[in-house]
A = this chain, B = another copy of it.
Amino acid sequence: MITIPTLDDIRDAAEKIKPYIHKTPVMTCQSINRMAGAEIFFKCENLQKVGAFKIRGASNAVFSLTEQQCQKGVATHSSGNHAAALALAARLRNIEAVIVMPKTAPLVKKEAVKRSGAKIVLSEPTQKDREKTLEQVAGEKGMTIIHSYDNPKVIAGQGTSALELLSQAPNLDIVIAPVSGGGLLSGTSIAVKGVSPETQVWGAEPEAANDAYLSLKSGKLVRCDNPQTIADGLRMSLSERTFSIIRKNVTDIITVNEEEIISSMRLVWERMKIIIEPSSAVPVAAVLKNKKNFSGKRIGIIISGGNVDLDRLPWMKQNS
């Protein structure tokens, strides 16, 4: 048995989290439209609280806890944005939070977690060690583990971004989101297929972390352990739950290489004057690369976040 959220769950989540999140703007950019030969609507979750869509799922999960669960607190492991999101959601509900973070997480993401008052426990960067450390820590205190994507409340929360997008930019032909563990893409696909069944949902993934692409092609769940990509938010693998949702709803997944990610990230910074993290550049690169599928279309892109270590920008690497 796997619990899968429905459009109603996403609508309930939207009501529940409304006081705690921003309704983020949808931006457009004529020069990028010209390059893509399409009309792109950027749903700016980089301008969301904690700088990422993750506060949507985390706050839906935390504000769905029973009073008894609240007394023990919450815990998770996360490479960054879910960490900061859960820390903030816990603070908003005035409960304790412990975050297991890989040693390799960007400084800016560790600081965001600390600012929210959560406790950080460091682990090795492998998915295995992150999970083991989390189970230890949470087990000791009886804390509720809020998984960053393999959780129906989290998935429902992440879907609220697409729900907003569909009302802000109606009649989209395609919605495209980055895919890591699949929480955002799953929630997005349920929202889009529920509200506008004729709108296609696509995923975008780094070539270097292409587990979702491989899973969709082969029809069975493939995992990548500790993949190396500049898109530090996209290093997780699908779960059975997110895979089953994505298989059902998603037309296809496009992979892009590191160079395409970096140049798309820089393009958005330069032309739109907004800060997006490498993970958010992945669907932008996918649209620019696949004119065959996207030309002439009205396309919504979920810009997932804007948390970047400003001392280590990817285009600086060559020079330092």
Binding site for B on A (CB under 8 A): 25, 27, 31, 46-47, 51, 108, 115, 266, 269-270, 272-276, 306, 310-311, 313, 315-316, 319-320
Contact = CB atoms under 8 A, between A and B. Distances in A.
Interface of A is mostly: helix
A248 to B, nearest CB: 33
Contacts of A319: 311, 320
A310 B306 contact: no
Given A47-B274, A273-B276, 12 more contacts: A25-B25, A27-B47, A31-B115, A108-B270, A266-B310, A273-B274, A273-B306, A274-B275, A310-B313, A311-B315, A313-B313, A319-B320
A320 B317 CA distance: 11
Contacts of A273: 46-47, 51, 274-276, 306
A51 B51 CA distance: 22
Q: How many copies altogether?
A: 2
Contacts of A316: 311, 316
A306 B319 CA distance: 23
Nearest to A305: B273
Contacts of A27: 47
A266 B111 CA distance: 15
Contacts of A266: 310
Contacts of A25: 25
Contacts of A47: 27, 272-274
Nearest to A111: B270
Contacts of A276: 273
Contacts of A270: 108, 310
A72 B135 CA distance: 75
Contact of A274 (B108, B274, B315): B274
A315 B310 CA distance: 9
A97 B49 CA distance: 43
A52 to B, nearest CB: 10
Query: A46, A266, A272: which has the most chain B beta carbons within 10 Å?
Result: A272
Contacts of A115: 31
A157 B306 CA distance: 32
23 contacts: A25-B25, A27-B47, A31-B115, A46-B273, A47-B274, A108-B270, A269-B275, A269-B310, A270-B310, A273-B274, A273-B275, A273-B306, A274-B274, A274-B275, A310-B313, A310-B315, A311-B315, A311-B316, A311-B319, A313-B313, A316-B316, A319-B320, A320-B320
A270 B274 CA distance: 11
Nearest to A48: B273
A25 B28 CA distance: 13
A238 B4 CA distance: 64
Contacts of A310: 266, 269-270, 313, 315
